[in-house]
């Protein structure tokens, strides 16, 4: 009997910090029927804790210096070299240029810790608590030229309890993010050709 063997999409994950979404994606990608493999990691922060996941899993990584003018070219070269066809932004704190985004149209997805279009941008948790929102959650979406604006792939929510401070809200949101990112990848694998 010959089983169908999935050809995993070679994916690059962009990070700037802790990398817990990266860790989760690597874990999911080990499953034989998960649609992606993590083949490259890019960061703008050489001290990003998440780089450890590249090291312990022997995944190639690239540290870019955003003060240098040609850093996007360096990224593009590394993507090409590693035959990357999908980019996941997971806590990447640098805005990509329009030119870069247009070269990877519909191939860059991001995760944001709110129910977009609400609370685009930074300091999301603070603003959600200040507004006394009843619900929050996370959104996986495609990247387009405007910040936190592209087409939504998947959203999950929970109810905010009165006792929640920033830490509780963050923990609850991030646990939901891990599930959401993986489900979003399965969804786009099924319903689009990536």
- Residues with active-site annotation: 112
Q: Which of 9, 107, 112, 172 binds ligand GRF (CB under 6 A)?
A: 112
The arrangement of strands across the sheet holding 9-15 comes to: 61-63, 36-43, 9-15, 86-89, 108-112, 135-142, 152-159
- 100 closest CA partner among 128, 64, 130, 154: 64
* 19 near ligand GRF (CB under 6 A): yes
* 42 near ligand GRF (CB under 6 A): no
Cβ–Cβ under 8 Å, residues 62 and 78: yes
Q: Which is nearer to ligand GRF, 62 or 177 (CB)?
A: 177
To ligand GRF, the closest distance from the beta carbon of 4 in angstroms equals: 32
Tokens of 90: 């997971």
Tokens of 100: 């870069």
**Sign of dihedral through CA atoms 48, 19, 90, 72?**
positive
Cβ–Cβ under 8 Å, residues 142 and 108: yes
Instruction: Mark the segment that binds ligand GRF (CB under 6 A) among 110-118, 129-137, 147-155, 160-168.
Output: 110-118
Residue nearest to ligand GRF according to CB distances in the complex: 91
* 111 near ligand GRF (CB under 6 A): yes
Q: Which of 12, 25, 71, 177 binds ligand GRF (CB under 6 A)?
A: 177
To ligand GRF, the closest distance from the beta carbon of 113 in angstroms equals: 4
Tokens of 50: 């998440």
How far is it, in rounded angstroms, from Cα 188 to Cα 131?
A: 33
* 137 near ligand GRF (CB under 6 A): no
Q: How many CB atoms lie within 10 A of CB 122?
A: 9
Q: Which of 90, 128, 169, 185 binds ligand GRF (CB under 6 A)?
A: 90
* 180 near ligand GRF (CB under 6 A): no
Q: Which is nearer to ligand GRF, 5 or 41 (CB)?
A: 41
- 156 closest CA partner among 171, 142, 136: 136
- Beta strands 61-63; 36-43: pairing state: parallel
Q: Which of 9, 12, 14, 20 binds ligand GRF (CB under 6 A)?
A: 20
To ligand GRF, the closest distance from the beta carbon of 119 in angstroms equals: 11
* 150 near ligand GRF (CB under 6 A): no
């Amino acid at each position: 009997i010959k089983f169908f063997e999935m050809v995993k999409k070679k994916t690059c994950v962009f990070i700037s910090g802790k990398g817990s979404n990266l860790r989760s994606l690597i874990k999911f990608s080990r499953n034989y029927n998960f649609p992606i493999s993590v083949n490259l990691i890019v960061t703008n922060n050489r001290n990003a804790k998440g780089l450890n996941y590249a090291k312990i899993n022997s995944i190639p990584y690239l540290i870019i210096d955003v003060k240098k003018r040609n850093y996007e070219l360096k990224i593009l070269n590394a993507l090409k070299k590693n035959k990357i066809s999908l980019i996941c932004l997971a806590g990447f704190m640098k805005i990509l240029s329009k030119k870069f985004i247009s070269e990877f149209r519909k191939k860059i997805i991001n995760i944001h810790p709110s129910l977009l279009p609400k609370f685009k941008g930074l300091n999301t948790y603070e603003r959600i608590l200040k507004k006394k929102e009843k619900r929050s959650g996370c959104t996986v979406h495609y990247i387009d030229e405007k910040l936190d604006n592209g087409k939504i792939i998947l959203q999950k929510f929970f109810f905010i309890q009165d006792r929640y401070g920033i830490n509780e809200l963050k923990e609850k949101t991030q646990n939901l993010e891990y599930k959401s990112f993986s489900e979003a990848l399965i969804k786009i694998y099924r319903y689009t050709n990536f």
